[in-house]
């Protein structure tokens, strides 16, 4: 699980996501990822109105893309440490 950082305010976490692909030739929407983007699946939106850096189809914001894969700049992806409580 990773945090996606805002590209407008890089200190703000806008979503929790899963990295799906880092292959620059992988297409997301109609575009290759290229060397600056990774394909991520949005698991939880933290800022629903955050615009996507590469909108496509009906996906314009983080809120629109919950459960879908999008392209996100890899420089704005941060590992998150989840703590698990064992009963």
For the chain, report the end-to-end CA distance as a whole number of angstroms.
Answer: 22
Q: How confident is the model at residue 87 (pLDDT cuts 50, 70, 90)?
A: low
pLDDT at 39: 98
* pLDDT for res 80: 82
Instruction: Answer yes or no: is pLDDT of 84 > 80.
Output: no
Structure token pair of residue 39: 């394909």
Over residues 48-70, the mean pLDDT reads 96
Query: Is residue 84 in some structural domain?
Result: no
- Residue 87 in domain: no
Residue 35 lies inside a defined structural domain of this protein:
yes
Expressed as residue numbers, the domain containing 8 is: 2-79
**Positive/negative CA dihedral, 12, 13, 19, 20:** negative
Higher pLDDT, 22 or 81: 22
Per-residue pLDDT of 9-57, as tens digits, reads 989 999 999 999 999 999 999 899 999 999 999 999 999 999 999 999 9
- Return the H-helix or E-strand segment holding 77: strand 77-79
* Angle value at C-alpha 61, between 26 and 29, nearest 5 degrees: 25
**CA-based diameter of the chain, in Å?**
46
Is 50 inside a domain boundary? yes
Total domains in the chain come to 1
For the chain, count helices (H), then strands (E).
0, 9
């Amino acid at each position: 699980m990773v945090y996606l950082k805002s590209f407008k305010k890089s200190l703000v976490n806008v979503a929790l996501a899963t990295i799906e692909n880092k292959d620059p030739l992988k297409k997301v929407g109609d575009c290759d990822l290229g060397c600056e983007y990774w394909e991520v699946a949005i698991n939880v939106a933290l800022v629903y109105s955050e615009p996507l850096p590469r909108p496509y189809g009906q996906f314009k914001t983080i809120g629109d893309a919950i459960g879908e894969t999008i392209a996100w700049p890899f420089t704005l992806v941060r590992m998150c440490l989840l703590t698990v409580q064992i009963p």
